[in-house]
């Protein structure tokens, strides 16, 4: 496993991270609790130390599973969780006000069975709360010892600049893959300039870049792939499928190629991949046994631009 030192911190994170949205039991289908716990253990055994989760994943279910899995191995992991998305029945509300964050952080600490969160991230922007108000409270949580470092997620370049001007932000987590490259124009260059560690999610775009979908899938209502990733429907699926067909000429496992391409982009600190079984995370870790050449990186970028 390779590691990345986040500038001006004592954090050395694995460049492959375990994402736990798939532990939620709601947007990704039924999960087996013990299998999820075993997946975290397998990740740690592979040298993966960054575990990313959030209270909105299964309304606390994912955090609780992570807490059980890392018990007795806390010194082996960097725990990253989030705040700002509140589940109200089937609806989700954005709330980054201090009172709401106070409730969230206390509940996260309890579920995770830890005393301090290593990276605490604003999950999504809250248009009704000035980011400065949110960050001022997060700085207070730092002083209280409940969180160690502050990160943000799904921020555009303007809001990211405001946040960094106000206080020390160490990471940005945004979607980035061969077919979702929106951060390349402004956000990624800014992160390089500001020395932020970029945590990327969705490198397989919900699984389509594993190559397993030969025809347009029909997901059940509520499945995250039916609403979060735009590449599964109609013409978007057809365009993505053509790109995937062309990528097969590289004679590499497609999922590993997709993960490696993201990992090898300048500024990327860690690639977050979801896995719900030990076999899946072990397979993802195999991506780090080889690198794409400069020529391959350029050609893959051309195909998927």
Q: Which residues are catalytic?
A: 57
Give CA–CA dist 156/93, Å, rounded: 19
CB 23 within 8 A of CB 276: yes
Which letter does DSSP use for residue 305 in this model?
-
Residue 198 corresponds to which tokens in the numbers above? 């970029």
Count CA atoms closer than 13 A to 166's CA, side-chain side. Answer: 19
Evaluate whether 224 touches 206 at the Cβ level (below 8 Å): yes
List b or e across 138-171, with b for residues whose CB sees 16 or more CB atoms inside 10 angstroms.
Answer: beebbeeebbbbbbbbbbebeebeebbebeebbb
Beta-bridged to residue 199, according to DSSP, are: 173, 270
Measured CA distances, 212 to 3, 206, 215, 268, 273 (Å): 29, 11, 9, 26, 16
């Amino acid at each position: 496993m390779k590691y990345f030192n986040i500038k001006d911190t004592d954090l050395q994170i694995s460049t492959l991270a375990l994402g736990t949205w798939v532990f939620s039991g709601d947007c990704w289908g039924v999960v087996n609790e013990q299998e999820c716990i075993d997946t975290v253990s397998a990740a740690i055994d592979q040298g993966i130390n960054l575990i990313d989760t959030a209270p909105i994943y299964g309304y606390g279910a994912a955090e609780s599973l992570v807490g059980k899995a890392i018990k007795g191995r806390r010194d082996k992991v960097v725990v990253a969780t989030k705040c700002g998305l509140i589940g109200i029945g089937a609806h989700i509300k954005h709330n980054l006000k201090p009172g709401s964050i106070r409730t969230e952080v206390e509940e996260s600490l309890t579920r995770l069975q830890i005393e301090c969160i290593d990276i605490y991230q604003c999950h999504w922007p809250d248009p009704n709360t000035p980011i400065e108000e949110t960050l001022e409270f997060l700085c207070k949580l730092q002083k209280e010892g409940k969180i160690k470092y502050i990160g943000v997620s799904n921020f555009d370049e303007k809001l990211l600049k405001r946040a960094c001007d106000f206080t020390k932000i160490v990471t940005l987590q945004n979607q980035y893959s061969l077919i979702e490259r929106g951060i390349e124009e402004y956000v990624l260059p800014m992160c390089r300039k500001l020395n932020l560690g970029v945590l990327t999610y969705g490198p397989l775009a919900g699984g389509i870049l594993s190559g397993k979908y030969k025809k347009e899938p029909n997901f059940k209502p509520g499945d995250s792939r039916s609403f979060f990733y735009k590449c599964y429907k109609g013409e978007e699926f057809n365009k993505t499928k053509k790109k995937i067909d062309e990528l097969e000429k590289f004679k590499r496992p497609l999922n590993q190629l997709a993960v490696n391409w993201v990992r090898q982009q300048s500024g990327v600190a860690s690639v977050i991949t979801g896995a719900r079984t030990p076999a899946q995370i072990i397979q993802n870790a195999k991506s780090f046994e080889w690198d794409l050449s400069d020529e391959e990186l350029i050609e893959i970028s051309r195909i998927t631009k």
